[in-house]
């Protein structure tokens, strides 16, 4: 994925994170590529610490640029500090309420802190976090959620609705106003290494609040539909929201939030960017939906191979087809293809049949042959 080229994101101020210790440097905003994030789905523990860098490396090869960790207590903060010295992945600490957790995380090579100044407390506490972030060249993401708006903005929404304003518009404007207020706190402290996210669980509100905010502030925006749901629903919502905003050049970094794996969040993010023309290159998989004509298990093959293929640093198209009705046709356009053909499977490379293998050898034999041909590309 490292060699892939992304189109420019919205021309907000660029904010560079990482670049300290062994952490790789990454710019969010400006004319930089739109980055892809996910969030670690379990608590950080002493036992898990050793295996996490390997998983982060796998996520990276799938196209993930940033990983966020929940930091609910000082033990998690201590572990995140240690982890930040074990990986080159830029890490984000997700902190609520206790500013001391942010200060502790910033003692390591944590690249970004996600906080909401409104729930951190006094201005002195926010200033302490800002001063430490400035010292460490770290960034701060202001995260505002539709579920936790200040009371006056909640009242404003009700008043706007009573006056006939569309509910989604009223809520979106309030969300953008809440984020603008939080941003003002950092402006007063002359801290501009800021990224903003406004999360609503509806597509319309997500689009509208980001539109409103982007028209007011040249600050990089982290896009995400919160509590988007399981795989299919979540991907649909995120695709609708991101593609609408990308068309208006809004959005510098994305997370597809799913009740599903981190890997699928990353894969969904890269597919959306790719289909929106914001990313080129990498591996493209075309596969048939399968029907009664299928001669081999397309679904099984795709699920066995998807992550390995998408992790390759190659610019290729891979075709996986169930039968000869469409298999050879698709194979012509693919760099490598595999298709069922009666009792056998055929492997194509650039339109030429290069292998014919009996299905009696089972999936292991199919995978071995496919691997051999893939390695020749």
Q: What is the DSSP letter of 73?
A: S
Q: Could you tell me where the beta strands, DSSP code E, fall in the chain? A: 5-6, 15-17, 26-28, 35-39, 66-70, 91-94, 112-115, 139-145, 194-199, 221-223, 253-255, 279-280, 284-287, 317-321, 336-341, 344-349, 352-358
Block residue for tokens 């004319």 = 31
Positions touching ligand SF4 (CB under 6 A) are 288-291, 293-294, 321-323, 325-327
Nearest CA to 317 out of 284, 275, 349, 346 is that of 284
Using CA atoms, how far residue 155 sits from 79, 211, 377, in Å, is 41, 22, 61
CB of 273 or CB of 318, closer to ligand SF4: 318
CB of 206 or CB of 287, closer to ligand SF4: 287
Residue closest to ligand SF4, measured at CB:
322
Distance in Å, CB of 76 to ligand SF4, minimum: 47
CB of 282 or CB of 327, closer to ligand SF4: 327
CB of 169 or CB of 324, closer to ligand SF4: 324
Distance in Å, CB of 302 to ligand SF4, minimum: 12
Distance in Å, CB of 348 to ligand SF4, minimum: 13
Distance in Å, CB of 376 to ligand SF4, minimum: 24
> Are 80 and 105 spatial neighbours (Cβ–Cβ below 8 Å)?
yes
Instruction: Please state whether beta strands 26-28 and 15-17 pair in parallel, antiparallel, or not at all (unpaired).
Output: antiparallel
Length of the chain: 377
CB of 68 or CB of 290, closer to ligand SF4: 290
CB of 74 or CB of 291, closer to ligand SF4: 291
> Using CA atoms, how far apart are residues 202 and 225, in angstroms rounded to an integer?
7
> Using CA atoms, how far apart are residues 230 and 18, in angstroms rounded to an integer?
31
Distance in Å, CB of 343 to ligand SF4, minimum: 15
Distance in Å, CB of 353 to ligand SF4, minimum: 16
Max CA separation in the chain (angstroms):
73
CB of 277 or CB of 351, closer to ligand SF4: 351
Dihedrals phi, psi of 165, to nearest 5 degrees: -75, 145
Distance in Å, CB of 324 to ligand SF4, minimum: 7
């Amino acid at each position: 994925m490292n060699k892939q080229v992304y189109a420019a994101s919205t021309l907000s101020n660029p904010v560079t994170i990482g670049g300290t210790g062994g952490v790789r440097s990454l710019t969010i905003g400006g004319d930089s590529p739109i980055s892809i994030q996910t969030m670690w789905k379990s608590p950080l523990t002493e036992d898990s610490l050793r295996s996490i860098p390997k998983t982060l490396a796998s996520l990276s090869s799938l196209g993930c640029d940033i990983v966020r960790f929940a930091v609910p207590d000082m033990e998690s903060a201590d572990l995140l500090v240690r982890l930040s010295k074990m990986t080159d992945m830029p890490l984000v600490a997700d902190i609520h309420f206790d500013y001391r957790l942010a200060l502790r995380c910033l003692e390591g090579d944590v690249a970004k802190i996600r906080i909401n100044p409104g729930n951190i407390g006094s201005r002195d506490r926010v200033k302490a976090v800002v001063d430490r972030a400035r010292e460490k060249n770290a960034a701060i993401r202001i995260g505002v959620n539709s579920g936790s708006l200040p009371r006056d903005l909640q009242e404003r929404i009700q008043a706007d609705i009573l006056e006939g304003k569309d509910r989604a518009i009223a809520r979106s404007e309030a969300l953008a106003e809440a984020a603008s207020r939080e941003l003002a706190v950092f402006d007063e402290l002359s801290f501009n290494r800021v990224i903003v996210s406004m999360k609503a669980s509806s597509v319309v509100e997500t689009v509208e609040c980001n539109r409103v905010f982007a028209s007011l502030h040249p600050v990089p925006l982290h896009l995400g539909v919160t509590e988007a749901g399981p795989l299919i629903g979540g991907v649909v919502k995120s695709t609708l929201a991101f593609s609408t905003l990308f068309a208006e050049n809004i959005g510098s970094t994305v997370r597809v939030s799913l009740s599903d794996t981190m890997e699928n969040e990353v894969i969904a993010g890269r597919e959306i960017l790719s289909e929106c023309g914001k990313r080129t290159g990498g591996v493209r998989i075309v596969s048939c939906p399968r029907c009664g004509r299928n001669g081999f298990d397309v679904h099984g093959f795709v699920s066995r191979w998807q992550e390995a293929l998408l992790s390759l640093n190659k610019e290729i198209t891979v075709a996986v087809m169930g039968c000869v009705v469409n298999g050879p046709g698709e194979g012509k356009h693919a760099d490598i293809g595999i298709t069922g053909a009666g009792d056998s499977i055929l492997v194509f490379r650039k339109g030429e049949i290069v292998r014919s293998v009996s299905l009696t050898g089972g999936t292991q034999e199919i995978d071995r042959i496919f691997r051999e041909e893939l390695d020749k590309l």
